[in-house]
Amino acid sequence: MKIHTRAVHAGDRKKAPVEIPVTTPIYNAASFISEKTADLDRIFAHELEGYSYSRYGNPTGAALEELVASLEGGHGALACASGMSALEIAVLSALIGRPKSVVSADALYGATINLFLRVFEPLGVKVRYVDVCDLGSLAGVIAEEKPGCILMETISNPCLRVGAIDRIAALARASGAALIVDNTFATPLLARPLELGAHFVVHSLTKYLAGHGDVLGGAVVTGLEHFENMRTLARTYGPLLGAFESYLAMRGIKTFPLRMERQCSNAARVAAWLRQDARIERVIYPDDAAHPDSATIQRLFPKDLRGAMVSFAVKDADRARIFAFMDRLKLVVRATSLGDVHTMMLYPVISSHREMPPAERERLGISENLVRLSAGIEAVEDVLADLDQALV
């Protein structure tokens, strides 16, 4: 089935004793009973499908997990309380039975860097950063470090670099490392990393998949090799998404391919408009033939789908001028997120990459005059008019 069809149908309409609900109900129960204690015993032993306690699994969450796994082409998924909790359990699962060492892309979401700095490194996990778009440098670092896992983003935040996932996956497998790909910016509409050789795919469900700014959640999708270890970890420390949030995320996903297609189209229009505006210093969007990863983008992404994120630098703007520009926006929402139905803008220097040293930000291209725009599904002409009046 095509992704549009799976987004609407996967996970729903499970067999019930009498009636089958059209959409998955919200199972707001902390625990579940079985008619026979012997059946409960078999459920605890994982010999019988069923539910006992919502920290181990919940029918609403299971439906969402089936849906996300279907979209990514994985064996199974885990729905988590946030994208960061999903990323944490992916790294923990990847390192089981492997060296406690991570090779990570240096272009990352700021909170991911903080996860390594404040959680994994104090626990003794070594983390080394490298430009994963430079396959020669990456191969050299992998040979030196012999890591347990490699982490990257399909489209990096906020400078929109795109690594060759299939070739990086080959390097990972040759070295015995597990490849984790944060696919939040691309979504399974643009790329399905498991099909390209990755071991784990992570999403912030809050963003494009749920898509309406009303639910916080995350998901990890993996293959058979790592699935049971991941579920065992989850049963132990309980990062699972609640039933109500699972329902909201699942409802949002049904329209995600339609929304994402519109958002990609709007982003391309915004990028083209910004490029011809003398008030703009530079525009970063993956449809540019001059993009450093253009060959990889054309090879891995579907034609005419280049993502819904646009980063751009306002000419001669310091922090005060960026603040003034953003304050003049009337339609574009100034909020710390992305992927919603409404167009949003964020200033990375004070938000997503606030704790990164200024010199490191500059090295990665995150300048003081750079902003990040997440295209929504509005009429793009209205978004352009708002940008125009704010860019005085």
The residues annotated as belonging to the active site are 55, 109, 182, 207
How far is 241 from 219, CA to CA, in rounded Å?
A: 9
Task: Dump strand ranges (E) for the chain.
Answer: 76-80, 101-105, 126-130, 149-153, 178-182, 200-204, 218-222, 280-284, 309-314, 333-334, 344-346, 370-374
Rounded to 5 degrees, φ, ψ at 180 are: -110, 130
Is the four-CA dihedral 242, 243, 247, 248 of positive or negative sign?
Answer: negative
Give Cα 1 distance to the centre of its chain: 23
DSSP 8-state code for residue 240 = B
The one-letter code for the residue type at 266 is N
Contact 61, 28 (CB under 8 A): no
Contact 135, 159 (CB under 8 A): no
Partner residues linked to 52 by β-bridges: none
Comparing CA positions, the residue from 203, 229, 82 lying closest to residue 148 is: 229
3 state SS for 92-115: HHHHCCCCCEEEEECCCCHHHHHH
Partner residues linked to 285 by β-bridges: none
Residue recorded with tokens 């279907």: 70
Comparing CA positions, the residue from 29, 37, 35 lying closest to residue 53 is: 29
Rounded to 5 degrees, φ, ψ at 65 are: -60, -40
The token duo for 297 is 């983008």
Q: Is the peptide bond before 158 cis (omega within 30 degrees of 0)?
A: yes
* Neighbour count for residue 318 (Cβ, 10 Å): 10
